[in-house]
Structure 1
Amino acid sequence: MTTFKVDIKIVLLICLVFVSFLADQTFGHPVAVVKPLQTIFNVLAYGAKPDGKTDSTNAFQAAWEATCKHPEPARLVIPGGVFLVRQVKFEGPCNNKSPIYIQLRGIVKASIDTSTYTEPEWITFEKIVGLNLNGGGTFDGQGPAVWPKHDCMSQAKCASRAINLKFRNITNARIGRITSKDPKGFHMCINGCNNFRAKALEITAPGDSPNTDGIHVSHSNDVTIAKSVISTGDDCISIIQGVNRIKIADVVCGPGHGISVGSLGKYKNEEDVHDVLVKNCTLIGTKNGVRIKTWPDSPPSAATNITFTNIKMENVTNPIIIDQNYCASAKSCRGNKASNVKISQVKFNNIRGTTPTECAVKMHCSPSFPCQNVQVSDINLKYVPVGPTNILARAISECANIRVAVAGFVIPPLCK
C-alpha cells in the first residue's frame, strides 16, 4: 500500500489560488465584498447599571461620544436590563464614514425629577449622517409620575413635559423595532431631517394622557412612517410646517386624535406643506380620523397635494375633517378672522367604517381662501349611534367654502 505525504503549505497555497480565481471569474459577476466588522461600544463598559435605580446618564453619554468619535464602523449597544437616565444628547457630526448603529435591547427609563430637565427633550439625536436605531427595546418616559402634578397648558415653558425622542437634523435615518412608552410630553419629534424611515414602532400611552402626540413631523423631507401601532392621548401622527414628501402607510392608530396635517398657520413665516400620502391605515376608537386643521387669523401659507386613501375607521368620532377655524383651547382662540392657509389638491379615497357621530364628514374651509381641487371618491361611513339603535339613522356631511368633486359610491352624500 502506497502512502502519500501531504504538505500543508502546498494545500493552503492551492486553496488561496482557487479562491482568488473564483473572485475574478465567478460567472462574470463581481463577488460581494465583506463589510468590515463593527466595533462594539457597550454602555456597561462605561459604568451603566441595568438595575433601574442607578443613574446611568454619564455612562450613556460617554459610550455615545466614544462611538461617534470612532473612525471605523461602530455600534452602540444598550443590552438587556433597565437603565435609569436623565437627559442624554447623542450629537454629531461623527467621524464614521458609515452609518452608526444603536442597538437597544433593554429598557431605558426617564428620571421623574423634572428639575433636571433643562431642555424640552429627554433623549435627543442630532446632526448625524447615517443613523440606525433598532433592537426591540423600550424608551419609557415615566409620564404617569408627572402628568397629575404639572399643568403645562398654563405655563409658557414646561420642562416636565419633555419629549421622549427628538430627531433633529438627521440625514439618512432608519428607525425600527423600538417602543416609546408614556412620555411626559410628545413621544417622538422629527425636525429638520432628510431621508428618514421609521417602521415597526410601538408607541403607547393611555388615551387620556395629556398632549402625548405620537409622531410630530416638521421642516423635513422624504419621511416614511410605516407598519407601526400608535396608541396615545393626542394625534397619532401630526404633520406641520415645512414638511415635503411624507408617506404614512400601514399604521394602526387608537386611542388618539387621529392622523393630522396641522395645525398650520400658528406662527409667522411658516413654510408650506407639500406631497402628503396617508394610505392603508386603520383608526380605532379615535377622536378624529384623517384631518387637516389650520388656525384662523393666520399668516399666509399653503398645504397642497394631500391624499388619504384606503383608510379603515372603527368607531371614529369625526372620520373626515377639514377645519380652518381650529382652536386648541378657549385661551388660544383668535376670534372670527379667516385663515390665510391655502388648501388645495386634496383627495379622500376609499375611506370606510363606522362613527358614533351623525356628522361623519366636516369640511369647513376659509372664506378668504376656499379649498381648491378637493376630490372625494368611494366613501362609506356608517352612523352607529351609542345607545338604542335608530334603524333610520344616516350619516350626514357639512361643507363651507369648498367645492367637492365626487366620484364613485359616497355615503354620506356630500355637498358639491
Structure 2
Amino acid sequence: MKNIVCNPGHGIRCEDSGRTTVWPVSHVVAENINVQNALYGVRIKTWQGGVGSVRNVTFSNVRVANVATPIAIDQFYCDRGGARCANRTGAVAITGVAYRRVVGTYSFQPVRLACSDARPCTGVSMVDVRLSPVASAPAGTVAPLCWNSYGEASRTIEPLGVGCLQRRNGYAMPLTQPSNYTC
C-alpha cells in the first residue's frame, strides 16, 4: 500500500485477524502514509483468543497530525461495544513488525503495544520515531505502553518513552505493566 491519506477516521490497520479464519497475514508494506484527525495512525488489531499469525509488516514514512494513538498493536480486540470481554489465553502470533520514520503529533498516547501474555509480540522495531503531543492536547495524555512487546528501538526516538522496547544481555525485554493498564 502506498501514498495513503486518511482524514479523519480510524487510521490504517490490519484488523480482526484470527476471529474466524487462521490464514496468516504476512509481508505487508504500507508506506508514504498521512493520517490526520484520527483515532489511530498505523495499527494491528487481532481478535482476543484468536489463532493464526501476523508477520513481516512494515509501516514506513508515516506522518500523523492530531492522531490519538499513532502506533498501536492490540492483541486484545473485542467488539462488544465497550463491554468488557473475558480475557482469553490464546492470541494471534505477531512477529516482525517495523515502524520506520513515523513523525507528527498525538492527542492521547504516542505508542500502545498491548500484546498477549501467552503470545508476546516479537521482533518489533522502531526506527526514527518522532512524536510530540499536540499543543491543544488534554492534560490526560498517557505514557507509551509496551506490554509483552519485544524488540528494539534505534536512531531518533522521541519522546524517550516511545522506545519502550528494551534489550538487555542480548535479549529483548518488555517494560513492566503500568498500573493504569486495562484490557
Equivalent position of 2:13 in the other structure: 260
Equivalent position of 1:284 in the other structure: 36
* Alpha-carbon distance between aligned partners in 2 of 1:338 and 1:255, rounded to the nearest angstrom: 34
Q: Stretches of 4+ moved more than 6 A in 1?
A: none
Are 1:282 and 1:311, in contact at CA under 8 Å, matched by a contact in 2?
Answer: yes
* AA of the residue aligned to 2:97: V
Equivalent position of 1:295 in the other structure: 47
TM-score normalised per structure 1: 0.37
Give the direction of change, closer, same or farther, for the CA distance of 1:397–1:331 in structure 2 (3 Å limit).
closer
Q: Tell me the percent identity.
A: 31
Give the direction of change, closer, same or farther, for the CA distance of 1:256–1:331 in structure 2 (3 Å limit).
closer
Larger Rg: 1
Equivalent position of 2:98 in the other structure: 347
Equivalent position of 1:369 in the other structure: 119
* TM-fit CA distance, 1:409: 0.6
User: Aligned with 1:257: secondary structure?
Assistant: coil
1:101-143 CA deviation, whole Å, 9 max, x = no partner? xxxxxxxxxxxxxxxxxxxxxxxxxxxxxxxxxxxxxxxxxxx
- The structure where strand makes up a greater share of residues is 2
* Alpha-carbon distance between aligned partners in 2 of 1:338 and 1:353, rounded to the nearest angstrom: 35
State whether structure 2 residue 134 is matched by structure 1 residue 384. Answer: yes
Are 1:313 and 1:353, in contact at CA under 8 Å, matched by a contact in 2?
Answer: yes
User: Aligned with 2:144: secondary structure?
Assistant: strand
* TM-fit CA distance, 1:329: 2.8
* Alpha-carbon distance between aligned partners in 1 of 2:82 and 2:117, rounded to the nearest angstrom: 23
Greater RCO (Cα-Cα under 8 Å, separation 6 or more): 2
1:248-306 CA deviation, whole Å, 9 max, x = no partner? 11111111101111111111x421101100101100111111000011122x2001000
Are 1:381 and 1:395, in contact at CA under 8 Å, matched by a contact in 2?
Answer: no
Aligned residues: 163
* TM-fit CA distance, 1:340: 2.0
Give the direction of change, closer, same or farther, for the CA distance of 1:254–1:270 in structure 2 (3 Å limit).
same
Give the direction of change, closer, same or farther, for the CA distance of 1:378–1:330 in structure 2 (3 Å limit).
same
Equivalent position of 2:79 in the other structure: 328
Matches within 5 A, 1:130-145: none
* TM-fit CA distance, 1:315: 0.6
Equivalent position of 1:305 in the other structure: 56
Give the direction of change, closer, same or farther, for the CA distance of 1:387–1:325 in structure 2 (3 Å limit).
closer
Are 2:105 and 2:132, in contact at CA under 8 Å, matched by a contact in 1?
Answer: yes
Give the direction of change, closer, same or farther, for the CA distance of 1:270–1:387 in structure 2 (3 Å limit).
closer
Are 2:13 and 2:44, in contact at CA under 8 Å, matched by a contact in 1?
Answer: yes
Give the direction of change, closer, same or farther, for the CA distance of 1:401–1:385 in structure 2 (3 Å limit).
same
Unpaired stretches in structure 1, ≥5 consecutive residues: 1-247
* AA of the residue aligned to 2:125: Q
